[in-house]
């Protein structure tokens, strides 16, 4: 069964460094998402992406964040200058469409630790 994959599974970085989290969505899906979960808190929506553009973003997704689909398979989340509070589990998801019948399929997550 097709699945969303994410690399790395765990990323440790120093505060102020740039990180890129990578995701490979399901191949025929058109909508892509990033969510994050700070330890002990809710899973929060960050951004959705369709047709090479951001379609929705939350207040969390500020100028420090960017997303890109650099080729036909990868979907990346970049954090330009990491802060301690960026430490979280980051989940990538994809869906075929945006309708209610279109399930969002999630990857296993990347745990980002900022020191």
Partner 1 sequence: AQSVTQLGSHVSVSEGALVLLRCNYSSSVPPYLFWYVQYPNQGLQLLLKYTTGATLVKGINGFEAEFKKSETSFHLTKPSAHMSDAAEYFCAVRSPTGANNLFFGTGTRLTVIP
Nearby residues of 88 by Cβ (< 8 Å), 6 or more positions away: 36, 37, 38, 39, 111, 112
Q: Shortest approach of partner 1 to residue 15 CB, angstroms? A: 26
Q: Which is nearer to partner 1, 5 or 17 (CB)?
A: 5
**Terminal-to-terminal C-alpha distance of the chain:** 37
Q: Shortest approach of partner 1 to residue 103 CB, angstroms? A: 5
Give the footprint of partner 1 on this chain (CB under 8 A).
3-4, 9, 31, 33, 35, 37, 40-45, 48, 55-56, 58, 91, 93, 95, 98-100, 102-109
Taking the mean position of all CA atoms in its chain, how far away is CA 76?
Answer: 7
Q: Decide if 107 contacts 93 (C-beta within 8 A).
A: yes
Q: Which is nearer to partner 1, 69 or 111 (CB)?
A: 111
């Amino acid at each position: 069964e097709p699945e969303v994959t994410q690399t790395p599974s765990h990323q440790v970085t120093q505060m102020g460094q740039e990180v890129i989290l990578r995701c490979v969505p399901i191949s025929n899906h058109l909508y892509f998402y990033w969510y994050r979960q700070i330890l002990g808190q809710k899973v929060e929506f960050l951004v959705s992406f369709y047709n090479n553009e951001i379609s929705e973003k939350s207040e969390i997704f500020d100028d420090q964040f960017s997303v890109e689909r650099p080729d036909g398979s990868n979907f990346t989340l970049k954090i330009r200058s990491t802060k301690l509070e960026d430490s979280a589990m980051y989940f990538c998801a994809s869906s075929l469409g945006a309708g209610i019948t279109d399930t969002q399929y999630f990857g296993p997550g990347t745990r980002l630790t900022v020191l």
